[in-house]
A and B are shown apart, each in its own frame.
Chain A
Amino acid sequence: METFTIRAQARASLPGTGRQAIVGVVASGNLEVLLERSETGDAVVVDVTTSARGFRAVWEAVVADFIARSSPGGVRFSIHDNGARPDTVTLRLLQGVKLLETQP
């Protein structure tokens, strides 16, 4: 396993008022993402725990691309990954922010 944290700044904070959300399951080739609106301003924190070692650069690229697309400022993403492919990671991140945005 490998654990690391990616920090970034988004263009804007995530709309909506939902405090937390969870999407996905830690199944083979899948991941869970816990989203918490806990960061100040437009900061974004992504904590990754993954079963696959040596892919930090890929994770950084996926996260950078995701932040550029959806601008989830103020959110901490905590991830447990069991070998998901990059497109699955992007899908879960997008599902997560959509859920957090639309939650009451």
Chain B
Amino acid sequence: MIPEEIVRSPSWYESSARNRIAGVLDADTFHEILGPAERVMSPHLELFDLPPAFDDGVIVGRGQLDGKPVAIIAQEGQFMGGTFAEVSGAKIVGLLRAVTAAAGTPDGVSAVLLLLDTGGVRLQEANAGELAVSETVRALLGVRAAGIPVVALVGGRAGAFGGGGIVTACCSHVVISEQGRISVTGPEVIETNKGAEEFDSRDRALVWRVTGGRSRVLLGGADSYVKGDVASFRAAAARSRNAAPPFTLETMAAEQERLEKRLSSYGDCRDTPEIWARAGLADPASVPDIDDDAFLALLSEREIKHDAR
């Protein structure tokens, strides 16, 4: 028997990108652009003897959230690690540019929802993927400069790594669950390059303490923490759409201050419990162990809020 709460609201982590979209948007409002039947696929995977996907692992389109139009992008972390590549990246970039072009017109949207689930750049298409990340950053900031918030939703299997970590931090607002992970260089790559002494990637608790959702939201790398079900992500997306900082010089100056302060306050810490202790948390070692309700209560007590992203 499947528990009732799982039937009502499936896990974000376990869901496919298509199911996440269906769960985030109002029912039957999703209009996919360049859907699978268009067969817009990677021209490069064949060179590596790898099977392609009809959507190249990225689903883009329009829909509604609480009756208001939104643009939506979802990466499928199970296909090639949800990577940025020539086609998958161009779909993201094309949508973001179209959103900017439509800003202020009747075709405009109220927000862009970016459902990240990515290991970063697809190495089989490394140069195209790297450029796709850079183009995504520029197009995304164009959307924000046009006054439209971009909300990142992070809680998938592949996390938001590499260029995906950079793209996440370019968004107006970041929503994350306990299972969400954000980082640039993954623990395995650090271990390969610098040794297990620097970062033991098999120490899962350590990996989560460094990259996981709770640490990110406590430190300011994410803005909203949600339970890991699809309905919670939907509710947070709707809420945060109205609370996103504009992309301005003032916001960047505030972010500069926020990030400098973090470096001077915690730059000599070795592990996150050290940071939480210095930040005045009553029981820093318990942060990974308490349940989501207790963690949410802890967050609301501390009122971790900033308008600098």
Fill in one digit per residue for B38-70: 1 if any A CB lies within 8 Å of its CB, else 0: 000000001001111110000000000000000
Any B CB within 8 A of the CB of A49: yes
Q: Which of A22, A49, A50, A81 contacts B36 (CB 8 A)?
A: A22
Residue of A1, A22, A30, A78 near B50 (CB, 8 A) is A1
Q: Which of B37, B49, B53 contacts A80 (CB 8 A)?
A: B53
Q: Which residues of B contact A70 (CB under 8 A)?
A: none
Chain B interface size, under 10 / 10 to 19 / 20 to 34 / 35 or more? 10 to 19
Bound complex: CA A84 to CA B53 (Å): 15
Chain A interface residue count, CB cutoff 8 Å, equals 17
A9 within 8 A of B: no
> Chain A at the B interface: mostly helix, strand, loop or mixed?
strand
Is the CB–CB distance between B52 and A26 below 8 Å? Answer: yes
B49→A27 contact, CB < 8 A: no
> A51: CB under 8 A from chain B?
yes
CB pair A36 B37 closer than 8 Å: yes
Known A25-B16, A25-B79, A27-B79: A51·B51 in contact at CB below 8 Å: yes
Interchain CA distance A27-B18 in the complex, whole Å:
14
Distance A20 CA – B53 CA, assembled complex (angstroms): 16
B residues in contact (CB < 8 Å) with A: 16, 18, 35-37, 46, 49-54, 76, 78-80
Question: With A22-B35, A27-B78 given, can you name 18 additional A-B contacts, CB distance below 8 Å?
Answer: A1-B49, A1-B50, A20-B37, A25-B76, A25-B78, A25-B79, A26-B53, A26-B78, A27-B79, A32-B36, A32-B53, A34-B36, A36-B37, A51-B50, A80-B52, A80-B53, A80-B54, A82-B51
